[in-house]
Structure 1
Amino acid sequence: MRVLGISAFYHDSAAALIEDGHLVSAAQEERFTRKKHDAGFPQNAVQFCLDRAGIKLQDVDYVAFYDKPFLKFERLLETYLAYAPRGFTSFRMAMPLWLKEKLFQKTLLRDEMKKWQPDFDWQKRLLFGEHHQSHAASAFFPSPYEEAAVLCMDGVGEWATTSLAWGQGNKLEMLREIHFPHSIGLLYSAFTYYTGFKVNSGEYKVMGLAPYGEPKYKNLILDKIVDLKEDGTFRLDQSYFDYCTGLRMTNDKFADLFGAPARTPEQMLTQEHMDLAASVQAVTEEIVIRLGKSVKKETGAKNICLAGGVALNCVANGKLLRENVFDGIWVQPAAGDAGGAVGAAYAAYHGFLGQPRKLNGHMDGMAGSYLG
C-alpha cells in the first residue's frame, strides 16, 4: 500500500511517500527550484519520491493533501465579515487569487497529477486532511512511542492555531484546539515583522537575536497583549494587530506600546530590537512550558510529540525538555508546513485506510532527517 502526501500552494511545498507504513522518501520543492519557501506545486519533489521508490504514479494507491481549502476559505470570509468594513483592501487583494486558484485546489491537484497519469481515478484516490491533523500525524506516527500526547503550534491552519491530540497505536484523536486569531505563531510573526524581518521566513532570526537582549518587555506583553492562563491557553488583544484586516502584522497602537515604529529591513539593529526579540522569546517559552504541563496533567502522558512551525523553536523545546515534565520529547524534524506532506500521507495510511502501525522498538520512523 502506497500513499503520496503533498503540501503546496501556501509556502514550503513538499512531497512524501509512504510504502506499507514506512516513510520511503520526502523532499521539499525549494531544494530543487532553489526558490526559498517555494509555494508552487512540488512536481520535482513528487518525481524525486517516485524515483527513490523506483515506481510510477500509477503504482500509488492514494494521494493525500495536507489541508482543506474550503475550511480555510471559510475562515477568511468569516474574518473579513467580522471586521467589515475594515480590511476591504486586503479582501480585495485576496479574493481574486482564491476565486481563481486556491478555492479549486482539487482541480489544480488533479490537473498537475494528470501530467504523470492521465487515467488515474482522482475522484476516489485524492484525499484531504485538516492542517493540524496533518501536523499531529507527522509528529506521532513516525515517533518511537506506542502512545503519546501530541502538541501542535503554528500560525494558523484552517481555524486551529494550537491543538492537542492523543496518539495510540494507529489511532490519533484530536482533543482540543485554540482557534484563529489567537495564535502563538502569529504573535511571534508579529514581532518578526516589527523587528524588520520577513514573516514566515525570518522567525529564526528573532530566535537567534534573543540571546543578545534582555526580556524587559515580557511583563508588558503579558499585561497588554497576551492574556495567558495558568493552563497555557491564551488570547491575543487584537487591537494591537493588523493581520486580520490589513496588509501588516502590527499597527500604530502596537508601535506606540513599544515607543517606536516598526524597523525597516535597511535600518541597523539596535539593543532595543534585541530586547524585543528576547521578550517575545521568553513569552513563547512560558506559553510552551505551561501548555506542556497542562498536557501532562490532562492526559498523564509519559511522552509528547511536537509539530507545527512553533516547534521549530528549538530554544523553547529545550526549555520544555529541561522542565522534566515528560520522559521523552520527539519533535518532527520538518515541523513546519513541509512536514505536512509527511503527516498527510501518514494520516491517510493509518486514519483513513486503518492500516496497522509497526514500531521497530527503538528508532523513530523518519530514518534521520535526510530523506530528500
Structure 2
Amino acid sequence: MGGAILGISAFYHDSAAVLLRGGRIVAAAQEERFTRRKHDPAFPRNAVRYVLDEGGLRLEDLDAVAFYDKPYLKFERLLETYHGFAPRGLTSFLSAIPVWIREKLFMRRLMRDELGPALDAEVPLLFPEHHLSHAASAFYPSPFPEAAILTLDGVGEWATMSICRGSGRDITILRELRFPHSLGLLYSAFTAYCGFRVNSGEYKLMGLAPYGRADGERVREWKARILDEVVDLRPDGSLLLNMDYFNYATGLTMFTADRWRETFGIPPREPESAISQEYMDMALAVQQVTEDAVFRLARTARELTGLENLVMAGGVALNCVANGKLVRSGIFRDVWVQPAAGDAGGALGAALVAHHIWQGNEREVQSGDAMHGAYLGPSFGEGSIMRTARRFDAPFVRYDDFATLCDDVAGLIAQGKVVGWFQGRMEFGPRALGNRSIVGDPRDPEMQRKLNLKIKYREGFRPFAPSVMEEESASYFGLDRPSPYMLLVAPVAEDIRNPLPEGYDDMDLHRRLYVLRSTIPAVTHVDYSARIQSVNRDTNPRYWSLIDAFRRLTGCALVVNTSFNVRGEPIVCTPHDAYTCFMRTEMDVLVLGDFLFRKEEQPPWRESADWRETFALD
C-alpha cells in the first residue's frame, strides 16, 4: 500500500502541503490560511506542520517528500527564453537569475534546510514535472478507472498544456504545448489589461464577461481581432501567441501596451477605476476564445484517448463557466475537475505521483471521489472556540442540540441576517464549501449588494454562488449531475426566471446588476447563470442540515454561499480569524461549531477596525 508521503508546492504562488498515508489523503492545506498572506508563495512551514500533526507523524516517519515541479527544467526554460529574446529582457534577467543562482538551483538543499534535521538524509526528495503533478491531482482522486486528462495553466517548466491518458496507476502524456504559447497566460494578460491582478483576478474577468454585449458588434469584432492578430488557435486546440503583444517572456509586465491600444482602441484600465462597457466586452471576447480553445482541446483529448470521461486540473480548469459549457456539450459522458486545480493542488499531485508511479502502488477507485469533499484542513474544537470567546470577552449562546441551532440560524437567514458559518475541517482549494462560509438568503433582492459592499468590500459586479441541497438542485438549475466543488456554472431554471425590463441593454453595469432576474436573485448572474455547489447529506451533514432547515422554513432549498473573508484576505482558518472577520464587517451573526454570537451583543471592537491595514486589495 505504500507508506507516508509529503507533497509540497512552493515558491511561486499558493504554496501548500499534503500528506498521504497508504495512498489516501490524510490532510491538505495552503500556507496562506496560516500566515494570513493571500497566495503566500513561501515554503509551507505551517502547512507541513499541520498535515504531519493531523496524520500523527513526524518527519522521520516519511517514506518520501515530493515537490511539484522540476527546478532544473524551469531554469533551462528561463535561460533559453532570455537567450532567444536577447537583448530584450535584460532588466528581467538581472532580477530573476541571481535568485535562481543563490537559492532555487539548489532546491534539494533548500528543501532539506526548510524541513530541518529531523528529515532523515536517506528520505528521497522527488521532483515530478509540473504538469504531471497537475495530471495526477486530477486523475488519481477522480471516480473514473480510466480517463482522458487535460491540464491547462500559465506555465510549469516548459509545458503550458497537456493531454494525457490515465488508466489504473499509469499516466501517459500524449500531447504538450510549450512556453511561451499558453492559454492561461493569454487569459492572464487580458486580466491585467482589464485592471485586475494576475494570478488572483482571473475569476473577476470571468465574472465580468457576462456584462459584455454578446450580440454587439464590438464583441464580435474584438474576438475576431484576438483570433486574427493575437492568437492563432488551431483546430486541435493548440495555439500560437503573437509575442509582439506580450511582455511576460522577458519583461516585468504581461502585455505590450502600445500594441494593444492600437488593436483594441482602449488603454489598460486603471485598477479600482470605474469599469466601462469596453472592458466588459473585452472580458466576454477573451472568455469566448478561451471556451473555444477548451472545447477543441477536449475533442482532441477524446479522439486521442477514445475514453468517455475527462478529468481536468491547472489554473484554467477553475474557469467554471467553460467547465459548465463543456459538461453540457456532451463531448464527454462525464467531467471531473480537481477542486484545488491550481498550484496548491500540485502538492497533492506530486505526492500521488510518488505513491503510484515511483512506489508502483495500484490505484483504488473510490465511489464519488477521493477528495473527502475537499474538507482536508484543520478543525477546531470547543476548547479553541472558548479561548477565542474569553480573549474577546464575547457573549455567546451554546447549543446542546444541533437541529435547534440549525432552525434558529435558518430563521435569522430568513430575516435577512448575514451569517458567518464555521464548522469542522477547513476546505482545501480556493472555494469555501460550507465549513468556512458566509451565508445569506438567496431570495433577498438586497443580499448581493449587502454582501459585496458591506461584508466582502469588493467590486459590486461579482456574483455569489448558491449552495443547494443535492437532491433539490434540478428544481433550480439546468444541471443533470452533482457539482460539489462549485466548479460548474449552469443556467437558472426557466420557471423561476423573471423577464428583463424594457431598456435593460441601455442600463449601466450597476443598474443591470440589481435587476431581479429570478426568485433567487442573490445567486442569479446577469446571464441567468449560477456557479453551483450541490451539498450532499453524507459529505457535509452539518451544512446540509442548515440548508434543510432553511427549506423547511421558507420552501427554498438553497442559501447564498461566499467565502468567509474580506477582500484580499485568505479564507479564515481558526476561530480567532473568524471572530476578527466577523467584528470587522457588518456581518450579523457568527456560528462557531455549536456556539452562536450575535453582533449587537458583542463588546466594542478594540483592535484595528480597518481590514485594509492588514490585507492589500487583490
Whether TM-score is above 0.5 comes out as yes
| 1:225 equivalenced with 2:230 (yes/no) | yes
Question: Deviation digits for residues 100-132 of structure 1, max 9, x if unmatched?
Answer: 2222221110101115x15x125x511111000
Match for residue 188 of structure 1? Answer: 187
Structure 1 gap ranges (5+): none
* Structure 1 residue 233, shift from structure 2 partner: 1.2
Q: How does 1:6-155 map to 2 (within 5 A)?
A: 6-114=8-116, 117=118, 120-122=120-122, 124-155=123-154
Runs of 4+ aligned structure 1 residues displaced above 2 Å come to none
Contact 1:15–1:45 (8 Å) recurs in 2? yes
How far apart, CA to CA, are the structure 1 residues paired with 2:121 and 2:98?
30
Match for residue 240 of structure 1? Answer: 245
Contact 1:213–1:271 (8 Å) recurs in 2? yes
How far apart, CA to CA, are the structure 1 residues paired with 2:137 and 2:370?
10
How far apart, CA to CA, are the structure 2 residues paired with 1:197 and 1:346?
34
Question: Deviation digits for residues 166-206 of structure 1, max 9, x if unmatched?
Answer: 11011111111000000000000000110111111111110
* Structure 1 residue 299, shift from structure 2 partner: 1.2
Match for residue 449 of structure 2? Answer: none
| Amino acid aligned to 2:174 | L
How far apart, CA to CA, are the structure 2 residues paired with 1:311 and 1:99?
33
- What is the number of equivalent residue pairs in this alignment? 368
How far apart, CA to CA, are the structure 2 residues paired with 1:103 and 1:201?
27
Match for residue 330 of structure 1? Answer: 336
Question: Deviation digits for residues 227-266 of structure 1, max 9, x if unmatched?
Answer: 1111111111111111112111111112211112211214
How far apart, CA to CA, are the structure 1 residues paired with 2:272 and 2:313?
33
How far apart, CA to CA, are the structure 2 residues paired with 1:3 and 1:271?
50
| 1:255 equivalenced with 2:261 (yes/no) | yes
| Amino acid aligned to 1:90 | S
| Amino acid aligned to 2:29 | A
How far apart, CA to CA, are the structure 2 residues paired with 1:148 and 1:226?
29
Sequence identity (%): 59
| Amino acid aligned to 1:181 | P
> Over the residues paired in the alignment, what is the CA RMSD in angstroms?
1.1
How far apart, CA to CA, are the structure 1 residues paired with 2:272 and 2:92?
25
Match of 1:366 among 367, 371, 389: 371
Contact 1:214–1:279 (8 Å) recurs in 2? no
Question: Deviation digits for residues 125-166 of structure 1, max 9, x if unmatched?
Answer: 111110000000000000011100100000000000000111
| 1:267 equivalenced with 2:256 (yes/no) | no
Question: Deviation digits for residues 48-80 of structure 1, max 9, x if unmatched?
Answer: 111111111111111000001110010000000
Match for residue 353 of structure 1? Answer: 359
How far apart, CA to CA, are the structure 1 residues paired with 2:252 and 2:114?
31
Secondary structure of 1:338's match?
Answer: helix
How far apart, CA to CA, are the structure 2 residues paired with 1:27 and 1:349?
19
Structure 2 gap ranges (5+): 378-618
Highest CA radius of gyration, 1 or 2? 2
Secondary structure of 1:79's match?
Answer: helix
How far apart, CA to CA, are the structure 1 residues paired with 2:301 and 2:138?
15
How far apart, CA to CA, are the structure 2 residues paired with 1:282 and 1:58?
50
How far apart, CA to CA, are the structure 2 residues paired with 1:246 and 1:264?
20
How far apart, CA to CA, are the structure 1 residues paired with 2:96 and 2:265?
32
Secondary structure of 1:200's match?
Answer: coil
How far apart, CA to CA, are the structure 2 residues paired with 1:42 and 1:91?
27
Match for residue 200 of structure 2? Answer: 201
Question: Deviation digits for residues 284-331 of structure 1, max 9, x if unmatched?
Answer: 000001110111112111101000000000001111111011111010
How far apart, CA to CA, are the structure 2 residues paired with 1:57 and 1:245?
39
Contact 1:241–1:254 (8 Å) recurs in 2? no
Secondary structure of 2:254's match?
Answer: coil
How far apart, CA to CA, are the structure 2 residues paired with 1:99 and 1:359?
43
How far apart, CA to CA, are the structure 2 residues paired with 1:58 and 1:363?
33
* Structure 1 residue 97, shift from structure 2 partner: 1.4
Higher RCO structure (Cα 8 Å, ≥6 apart): 1
Match for residue 301 of structure 1? Answer: 307
* Structure 1 residue 267, shift from structure 2 partner: 2.4
TM-score normalized by structure 2? 0.59
How far apart, CA to CA, are the structure 2 residues paired with 1:346 and 1:65?
11
